[in-house]
Structure 1
Amino acid sequence: MRKRSGLILSLMLSLSACGGAPSQNDPVLSERDLDIEKFFDGHLVAQGQFQDVFGKVRRQFVVDIRGNWDGERLRLVEDFVYEDGSKEQRVWTLKKTGPETWEGTAPGVIGKAVGVEQGDRFNWRYTIDLPVPSAEGPQPPVRVTFDDWIWLMEDGRAFNRAYMSRYGVRVGDVSIWFEKR
């Protein structure tokens, strides 16, 4: 049994190393400038999905987002509706800590999320205890780490790809399209 567990762990580590994530050192792709406080102030709708590390789509969702920038803090109320009809709400409070830096909190987030704006993109990193869907009833949350990237597109849209890991091993990706309303 130990040999099998070691083989599975080794395989997962190898697979997680195959897919790279963006870096702050990557070149900026456009002349657009993503200002998080401007983009997320107001009403947005997002659609997305979670794919496991093998590429299988595990969940899809729609998110209604209400953002409010008061000049110091950005409050985001995110109402998720999943394909199975289940719902979840997450409320973020973000604070600008420098010309291009942010920190934020939300229920379930461990410590503070930290973010950096750079040209047309925003990188957001945090650890969170996520609820686990189950037909058997409530399950304990799963602690995962997100390396979350948002790129400003044209016409009031943004694309988000979040790389999710657990114990340092990549377990999947979340892809989301945001659209201003």
Structure 2
Amino acid sequence: MRLAKIAALALIPLLAACTGKPALTDASLSTRELELEEFFDGRLVAHGQFQDIFGTVRRQFVAQIAGDWDGQRLRLFEDFTYEDGSTEQRVWTLRKTGAESWEGTAPGVIGVATGEERGDRFNWRYTIDLPVPAADGTADRVRVTFDDWMWLLTEDRLFNKAYMKRFGVDVGEVSIFFEKL
């Protein structure tokens, strides 16, 4: 009986890794065209949460975002407030590298983030040393990779689902709803 439980627990990461994820080749669900530089230019608010691989919500947040597109680079100032009252700021600098491709950097990001627009969606991939609150009130840094997917729902609403991995193993998902103000 105990061996069966151990075997079942060992299968959970394997099964989580087999779940379906979006692809740029998926059929579009709308005729909308996401242009990052247009959507993120200005003020936005984002509401989101992190869920572990078991589906348990572990953290929620609200982010105030100020975006600035100057014709060559998009800068995003993201001010996060978490449910426990802690705060964090991340500043992204993105550059359009082709008709539908982007690169970006932010403090904590390892190397360069890369992304591609296709129709109403955007895929953004990067590795980051993410601050994670510790039990003693301090913050540890955990290196994770993000596979971010964004879909333009309306002219002023965007949905983001980010798949997180650590050491190549799924650890959770972040769901975020962005709204232009």
TM-score bracket, shorter-length normalisation: over 0.9
Q: What secondary structure is seen at the aligned counterpart in 1 of 2:29?
A: coil
The 5 Å alignment of 1:1-181 reads 10-181=10-181
Q: What secondary structure is seen at the aligned counterpart in 1 of 2:10?
A: helix
**Quick one: structure 1 residues 82 and 8, their matched pair in 2 at CA, closer, same or farther if it must change by over 3 Å?**
farther
Q: State the AA in 2 paired with 1:62.
A: V
- The alpha-carbon deviation at position 9 of structure 1 amounts to 7.8
Could you tell me how far apart the structure 1 residues matched to 2:140 and 2:46 are? 27
- Worse overlay, 115-124 or 146-155: 146-155
- Computed over aligned residues only, the root mean square deviation of the Cα atoms, in angstroms, reads 1.8
Normalising by structure 1, we get a TM-score of: 0.93
Normalising by structure 2, we get a TM-score of: 0.93
Could you tell me how far apart the structure 1 residues matched to 2:8 and 2:139 are? 24
**Quick one: structure 1 residues 116 and 139, their matched pair in 2 at CA, closer, same or farther if it must change by over 3 Å?**
same
Could you tell me how far apart the structure 1 residues matched to 2:9 and 2:119 are? 38
Q: What secondary structure is seen at the aligned counterpart in 1 of 2:140?
A: coil
In structure 2, the gaps of 5 or more residues are none
Q: State the AA in 2 paired with 1:57.
A: V
Q: State the AA in 1 paired with 2:124.
A: W
Could you tell me how far apart the structure 2 residues matched to 1:41 and 1:151 are? 17
- The alpha-carbon deviation at position 11 of structure 1 amounts to 2.6
Q: State the AA in 2 paired with 1:141.
A: R
Q: Is the 8 A contact 1:12 1:169 kept in 2?
A: no
Q: What secondary structure is seen at the aligned counterpart in 2 of 1:131?
A: strand
Q: Is the 8 A contact 1:161 1:176 kept in 2?
A: yes
Aligned residue pair count: 178
- The alpha-carbon deviation at position 155 of structure 1 amounts to 4.3
> Which runs of at least 4 in structure 1 moved beyond 3 Å after TM superposition?
6-10
- The alpha-carbon deviation at position 135 of structure 1 amounts to 3.2
In structure 1, the gaps of 5 or more residues are none
Could you tell me how far apart the structure 2 residues matched to 1:151 and 1:139 are? 31
- The alpha-carbon deviation at position 134 of structure 1 amounts to 1.9
Could you tell me how far apart the structure 2 residues matched to 1:41 and 1:9 are? 45
- The alpha-carbon deviation at position 18 of structure 1 amounts to 3.9
- Percent of residue pairs identical: 67
